[in-house]
Structure 1
Amino acid sequence: MSSDPGASAKRTLGRARESVQKIHQAAIRHRDPGLHQLADEISEVALTLGHDAGPVQEWRACPVCGAEPGSNCVRTPGHEVVDGMHPERTRL
């Protein structure tokens, strides 16, 4: 048993992040923007409760260029790329 009293909360938060990632992956697989919206709403609620949703670019396709999760964005006219990502991709 862990002596860290926050270990259980960290595991629970990790499970929640994995679940949100799975929703985003399903949204990509089924080409369903509504699922992305639902996952974003869950992440926003978590943030208002003080929980970090994690780096969204890891589990989200880019809304500007369509880059898949885990890949860098492609330059698109009229859209800035910062550290390999469109800023729109990193916002909830």
Structure 2
Amino acid sequence: MRDVHRAAIRHRDDSLHQAAVEISRMARELGHDPGSIEDWRACPVCGAEPGASCIRVPGHDMVGGMHPERTRE
């Protein structure tokens, strides 16, 4: 999933991000662990790459060291 999200970033293709989210959701429903979402999804607020930590951005709260928007599907 990390590779798909990186390709989505490189090609600026949100449909690839959405496909990766859908695949991960299906994997979770089938009992597989796709890992934590921040491991395979870039942050839409600060642009942190998959697996990287979020950085503070004025006007955006962080919860548990990351932006809540990053963990929403």
The TM-score normalised by the length of structure 1 is 0.66
The alignment covers a number of residue pairs equal to 73
Runs of 4+ in structure 1 deviating by more than 4 angstroms, as ranges, are: none
Code of the residue aligned with 1:70 in structure 2: it is G
Partners of 1:57 and 1:75 lie apart in 2 by: 15
Unaligned regions of 5+ residues in structure 1, if any? 1-19
Greater helix proportion: 1
Percent identical among aligned pairs is 64
Partners of 2:3 and 2:55 lie apart in 1 by: 24
The TM-score normalised by the length of structure 2 is 0.80
Larger radius of gyration: 1
1:32 has 2:13 as partner: yes
After superposition, the CA RMSD in angstroms is: 1.7
Q: Classify 1:41/1:32 alpha carbon distance in 2 versus 1 (closer, same or farther; 3 Å).
A: same
Query: Which of the pair has the greater relative contact order for Cα pairs under 8 Å at 6+ separation?
Result: 2
Q: Classify 1:26/1:37 alpha carbon distance in 2 versus 1 (closer, same or farther; 3 Å).
A: same
Could you say what secondary structure the match of 2:20 adopts?
Answer: helix
Unaligned regions of 5+ residues in structure 2, if any? none
